[in-house]
Structure 1
């Protein structure tokens, strides 16, 4: 059998010194091909690749990273900037630009990609008038929202943005019975009709033009695609959610943040559109968290079923979504990404964690970085890089 020809794999010319290879130069790749490559790279690989040569750097300016890995935001106390941590780069910390003089007087209550929904701190509110704004922490683009009146602010807040059209939607509860919404074309906040009955909702998720609302009795789904929202589904959560108490008799000599128990009940919508309820518990006098996950049936009559694996997905609890992990470096499969604020915590509120459903153990990422920075808050987010 004849041996394979080298000439079939590369261009070969012959000189007096023998064969000479004319290998293609990577810097000569067409720009559209380079852009296609860059669009498939995660942030760390993107930053490395653009340093290869001037041609690759030029292609990078017309592209953006394809990032599906959750990053961490640290909000240092009394500062007008944030720190960003990429799990792929263990020892690297990014610092944002100055985010405005009033950033230090506000705190983040919701996020979507790199956009933050900022609410004034209570010490800077002199009356029941609330001034919220939306801020892109990477580009510093800002959208001021109209004021609204409330004794408690905006509870269970939702932020959603279509980054192609810059259409945005903000939803939240102003008290136990009333919810309001604001979208880009509106001039003022609009009350969501009481007939929809979103009373006592303590968690909401917005996904694919649908609003998922959870209270201690039912989960309701509303369609927001048309001019007026309509209820399209509801299901009882009895037996799945119990009203818990984190208080009890105090023991002398033990810090209260250790004595009290912490709990959370959150809605999560998966990549495939399934609805989950995630129950997180840290009992009194215990530092160990545990989670239970219940999946909603496909029809009204189906009951909630406890599941024990997410497969090749991970939950971002603060965002109420799952993300794919298969073939994505830097994100852990079958895990729950959460922070202290997700879990109604005081002791853990500045820390960020990953809970493995395989090992039933909690990992505190970037522990020494978090320890060295005095923070008001920390949270997971999915960066949205722009050209």
Structure 2
């Protein structure tokens, strides 16, 4: 399949031969090896960074008009300035799936209307009131594409302050509604973070409970399969040494996200940005006794090791470590916290954090690029 060609600074004496050499160099990542999709400040296209050879590549297709929302394998959910959503293969030339327009959303309390070519707003069925216009920059989403030719896909999108999540699957001509407020248990309302693993949607609710929905049902849309926990997923108190370290550096921001391991266990990930060069991660899971009705004093249990797995926080999942693919064990691949809620302070910090050594690896060659956003992705073979 077609791959992005590399972008390199070439010396001037031999421009013609250098140009021919550049066009013959093709990115050939091994299936499953981590890459970075880079979005730059200037609207001059996107780049793909391969850590294996420390090289930035241009994409073969012109992707300059898109904002990259989410990924699944080699596929990205993207949106253009007119608020039109697509699924694209970043390695395929002009390989694109057109998705229903946002205004096809069928909700119980709101409809969507366009404001010109590049804005939409919500109209309440009950009061006919209209929200402030939103643009493509306000859309958040998740994507899952089945890893085989002609496979199923699930698309999710929402606006940060909306009271629903919209979704569609392959074959749908409109978006259906997942309410995040009406007819939802109090502790499961709202969205702080969400992730999609196959047909399983996990939503980190505003009150720090985790909502779990099964989206595999074709006719009635989804089924709530959430566990009925008594306690939210609140972070236990940090150690005295950790608190002293945070206070010493006058922490600039903190974020919380959720992730799901290969075994299906939900993790809460806290990240603290201490300085531009120092960041701390803490992972927690529920105490197994939390569902025991006779137990009232359970706390979250800190996860000190992911074993032979790596966590890709942009995707919200863990994958097997593999040195041949460049996936480091017991590590967290990070770009920014709270990707679903950009309204909170969250600076871009492209790095790999080792839970074993508590050290951070960054990529100095990216510092010369004016990068607006970046996302780790794992292209399938």
Q: Which secondary structure state, in structure 1, belongs to the residue aligned with residue 190 of structure 2?
A: coil
* Greater Cα offset, 170-179 or 232-241: 232-241
1:136 Cα offset (Å)? 1.1
Residue of structure 2 in register with 1:67 after alignment: 31
Residue 222 of structure 2, aligned match among 211, 218, 229: 229
1:295 Cα offset (Å)? 1.5
Residue of structure 1 in register with 2:96 after alignment: 142
Unaligned runs of 5+ in 2: 1-27, 103-111, 113-120, 122-132, 237-248, 293-297
Matched, 1:240 2:240: no
Higher relative contact order (CA 8 A, sep 6+): 2
Whole-angstrom distance in 1 between the partners of 2:357 and 2:40: 32
Residue of structure 2 in register with 1:335 after alignment: 331
1:290-344 residue CA offsets vs partner (Å, 9 max, x unmatched) = 1110113457347531111111111000000011115545221111000136576
Residue of structure 1 in register with 2:77 after alignment: 117
Cα 1:170–1:196 shift into 2, 3 Å:
farther
Matched, 1:170 2:168: no
Residue of structure 1 in register with 2:320 after alignment: 324
* Greater Cα offset, 311-320 or 148-157: 148-157
* Greater Cα offset, 309-318 or 221-230: 221-230
1:51-98 residue CA offsets vs partner (Å, 9 max, x unmatched) = xxxxxxxxxxxxx975232111222343554322222223x3332113
Larger radius of gyration: 1
1:211 Cα offset (Å)? 0.9
Cα 1:191–1:216 shift into 2, 3 Å:
closer
1:124-144 residue CA offsets vs partner (Å, 9 max, x unmatched) = 46xxxx322221110131122
User: In the alignment, is the contact (CA less than 8 A) between 1:336 and 1:356 conserved in 2?
Assistant: yes
Q: Which secondary structure state, in structure 2, belongs to the residue aligned with residue 372 of structure 1?
A: coil
1:5-54 residue CA offsets vs partner (Å, 9 max, x unmatched) = xxxxxxxxxxxxxxxxxxxxxxxxxxxxxxxxxxxxxxxxxxxxxxxxxx
TM-score normalized with structure 1 length? 0.67
1:155 Cα offset (Å)? 5.0
Residue of structure 2 in register with 1:94 after alignment: 57
Residue 190 of structure 2, aligned match among 196, 200, 203: 200
Cα 1:356–1:327 shift into 2, 3 Å:
closer
* Greater Cα offset, 177-186 or 191-200: 191-200
User: In the alignment, is the contact (CA less than 8 A) between 2:233 and 2:286 conserved in 1?
Assistant: no
User: In the alignment, is the contact (CA less than 8 A) between 1:201 and 1:215 conserved in 2?
Assistant: yes
Q: Which secondary structure state, in structure 1, belongs to the residue aligned with residue 332 of structure 2?
A: strand
Unaligned runs of 5+ in 1: 1-63, 243-257
Q: Which secondary structure state, in structure 2, belongs to the residue aligned with residue 266 of structure 1?
A: strand
- RMSD of Structure 2 on Structure 1 (CA): 2.9
TM-score normalized with structure 2 length? 0.68
Residue of structure 2 in register with 1:8 after alignment: none
1:146 Cα offset (Å)? 2.1
User: In the alignment, is the contact (CA less than 8 A) between 2:36 and 2:375 conserved in 1?
Assistant: yes
Please show how residues 188-337 of structure 1 align to structure 2 within 5 Å.
188-193=174-179, 194-196=182-184, 199-217=189-207, 218-227=209-218, 228-234=221-227, 235=229, 238=232, 240-241=234-235, 261-283=252-274, 287-298=277-288, 300-301=291-292, 303-326=299-322, 328-337=324-333
Cα 1:260–1:143 shift into 2, 3 Å:
farther
1:259 Cα offset (Å)? 8.0
Whole-angstrom distance in 2 between the partners of 1:313 and 1:201: 27
